[in-house]
Amino acid sequence: MSRTHAIPPDQTRRWLEPGPVVLLSTAHNGERGIMTLGWHMMLGYDLVGTYIDPGNRSHALARGSRECVINLPTADLLDTVVRIGNCSSADEDKFERFGLTAVESSEVDAPGIGECHARFECRLHETRITADYPLFVWRVVAAHAAKRPKWPRTVHYRGAGQFMISGDERSRRALFKPEMLES
């Protein structure tokens, strides 16, 4: 017995949301970009895949520089996150428009965003896939995170303008094999 009904395959994202919405910052030839990005996935402990549509200015900046910073915003930045995702770096500098602090990175030229809870500096790891498909596979080469709050209230996109805010924490450490808790 099943409680399900058929849904269009292109609505999959509403159920399989991949994780917190991030702000991806880039810089190339004196130009800076920020885009809102929901479609990402871990591909290893320090490898992250991101889908960056070729229509976005950030695609050209990421491709040209082969670097980016993945910034983790929290719920207090939700309106800014949505607004950043509804305009283009081709038209304006989003750091200036949204009053965000450009933080110098330690390993890449792209600046991070000071208002975010964490920043992951990335270098392009894999180019074969990106040649055929707008999937960028990044290696995290440096990372910075705030110590508090321990569990930041991240924002998660369900599609159709609807967001889920994280916050209901539960530990199940007792159910894990010890070796599964190492990382």
Ligand X SMILES: Cc1cc2nc3c(=O)[nH]c(=O)nc-3n(C[C@H](O)[C@H](O)[C@H](O)COP(=O)(O)O)c2cc1C
Contacting ligand X within 24-63 (CB under 6 A): 33, 35-39, 51-53, 56-58
Helix (H, G, I), strand (E, B) or coil at 26: strand
Which amino acid appears at position 105 of this protein?
S
Which listed residue (85, 107, 143, 166) binds ligand X by CB under 6 A? 85
CB of 111 to ligand X, least distance (A): 14
CB of 149 to ligand X, least distance (A): 22
CB environment 124-137: b (16+ within 10 A), e (fewer) = bbeeeebeeebbbb
The DSSP call for residue 75 is G
For residue 178, is the peptide bond before it cis, meaning its omega torsion is within 30 degrees of 0? no
Nearest residue to the partner ligand X, using Cβ: 85
Pick the closer one to ligand X by CB: 90 or 146.
Answer: 90
CB of 21 to ligand X, least distance (A): 5
Which amino acid appears at position 170 of this protein?
R
- Tell me the C-alpha distance between 27 and 94, whole Å: 12
Q: Let me know how long the chain is.
A: 183
> With contacts defined by CB under 6 A, how many residues of the chain interact with ligand X?
21
Kindly state whether residue 138 participates in binding ligand X, applying the rule CB under 6 A: no
Binding mask 96-135 for ligand X (x = CB under 6 A): ----------------------------------------
- Tell me the C-alpha distance between 170 and 183, whole Å: 18
CB of 101 to ligand X, least distance (A): 18
- Tell me the C-alpha distance between 88 and 129, whole Å: 25
CB of 126 to ligand X, least distance (A): 18
Where along the sequence are the contacts to ligand X (CB under 6 A)?
A: 21, 33, 35-39, 51-53, 56-58, 82, 85-90, 157
